[in-house]
Amino acid sequence: MLIIAAPAIITSFTNQGDAIRYQLVIFDMDGTLTVDALDYETLRSELGVAVRHPVLEWIAALPEREQTRAWAVLHQHEAQAAEKSTLRQDAHLALDALRKRGIKIALLSRNSRKSVETILQRHALSFDDVISRDEPPVKPHPDSIRGIARRLNISLDRTLMAGDYVFDIEVAEAAQVASVLLTSPEKPRPPFAQRATYVISSLLELDRLVEEPDSFRALLSAKQVNGECINGK
């Protein structure tokens, strides 16, 4: 795992005429680079978390004496999911294609540092910067993205947040960076897909998106949007 702390100077590429629109792609992990293996229904049941309530925020609001048990339950579920995690088939190819273009890649996850490192080691993944919930503020706080861009010396207008969940869209909105939502061709797009800057159905499409972003604009009809996403920590 490679984590680089670059000088806190933002370089703007806006007027350089570079054909590549984005110079930094920040990835979510669960459900984006990996097939999400966490059993959210069982986790929520064991914790007593109401449906549609974010797990991390729910635990943080508990009395201190109850938080210890709740964090332990979450850590156990995350560890089990990390140990049996499966990488998306096109993940390595997509990351390698971006690197060949000279594009920085980073990871921004709401998982613990331990579970993130387990997944990185299990699948031989490396990034220019890696941020877990143990390095607050936690996504969707905008400073999580701003900090990555600052350390890697990339301007926000050249930064792209890629993920599969509403938090990934919210953090991009809050940090005022572009977002790309990874969707499944077999499933209806969630309502928040309309808030994404771009929509893709395969990670391999990122290689073309960074150069031809307008081809992936999130222009969705009502028939393409359905359902409500209730999982996610």
Q: Which of 197, 152, 191, 153 is nearest to 171 (CA)?
A: 197
The closest alpha carbon to 5, from 160, 147, 144, belongs to 147
Mean pLDDT of 204-229: 71
* Structure confidence by residue, pLDDT tens digits, 137-181: 999 999 999 999 999 999 999 999 999 999 999 999 999 999 999
Q: What is the pLDDT of residue 79?
A: 95
Of 126-130, 173-177, 181-185, 225-229, which range is least confident? 225-229
Q: Please determine, for residue 101, whether its predicted confidence score (pLDDT) is greater than 90.
A: yes
Token duo for residue 104: 């920085």
Report the chain's mean pLDDT, rounded to a whole number: 87
Q: Where are the domains of the chain?
A: 24-36+88-224, 40-83
Average pLDDT over residues 85-104: 96
What's the pLDDT at 220? 46
- pLDDT bin (cut points 50, 70, 90) of residue 222 is very low
- CA nearest to 77, candidates 105, 44, 109: 44
Evaluate the CA torsion angle 5, 22, 32, 145 in order and state its sign: positive
Q: Please give the share of the chain, as a percent, with pLDDT higher than 70.
A: 85
**Fold for domain 24-36+88-224?**
Rossmann fold (3.40.50)
